[in-house]
Amino acid sequence: MTDQAPHPEGDIPGKSTTASRTTLSHIMTGSDTNLLGTVHGGVIMKLVDDAAGAVAGRHSGGPAVTASMDEMVFLEPVRVGDLVHVRAQVNWTGRSSMEVGVRVMAERWNESTPAQQVGSAYLVFAAVDADGKPRRVPPVIPETERDKRRYQEAQIRRTHRLARRRAIKELREKRAADGIDDA
């Protein structure tokens, strides 16, 4: 096992990071372009969400919905003719939520050069039942030192997300109490 904290309810067996890790590959065509002639960021974001959703569903054993997307970073433009590989894995799990890390790689479809990283993102998914209510997920079991680092970094991002949400809520409540209508 790892130095991971025990699952909040403890009786769901954990799953390794490799159990649900996946890669989605897609060749970019002219219909994917923006006004600058490169691949539209929204196309890449959809691929990221699709790959992350597949990983979240695999890990949780059923439906999972996107709760948030953090830190979508575009490092290099993607061009028509690029073969894009979107690699995703569960980095961290809570009671019903999971952080999925995604790395976007691109290579020319007709060249034998190595793929280069063109983007990355972190998404949070919530596992849901047939009624759309949250359901428990298995804890993730980091296997490698890299997986353990990703798990620890995901905990930091979660702490920051919760603190940001709390600070915004407090600010809005204070403004409302001061009679400031932001509607």
pLDDT at 4 over 70: no
Quick one: average pLDDT of 1-9?
Answer: 44
pLDDT (0 to 100) of residue 1: 37
Q: In the predicted model, is pLDDT for residue 46 greater than 60? A: yes
User: pLDDT tens digit string along 158-177?
Assistant: 999 999 999 999 999 999 99
- DSSP secondary structure of the chain: --SPPPPSS--SPPEEGGGT-EEEEEE--GGGB-TTSSBPHHHHHHHHHHHHHHHHHHHHTS-EEEEEEEEEEE-S---TTEEEEEEEEEEEE-SSEEEEEEEEEEEETT--PPPEEEEEEEEEEEEB-TTS-B---PPEE--SHHHHHHHHHHHHHHHHHHHHHHHHHHHHHHHHHTT----
pLDDT computed for residue 71 by the predictor: 84
16-38 pLDDT tens trace: 999 999 999 999 999 999 999 99
d(C-alpha 172, C-alpha 164), whole Å: 12
pLDDT, position 182 = 76
Q: What is the pLDDT of residues 67-114, one digit of tens each?
A: 999 889 999 999 999 999 999 999 999 999 999 999 999 999 888 889
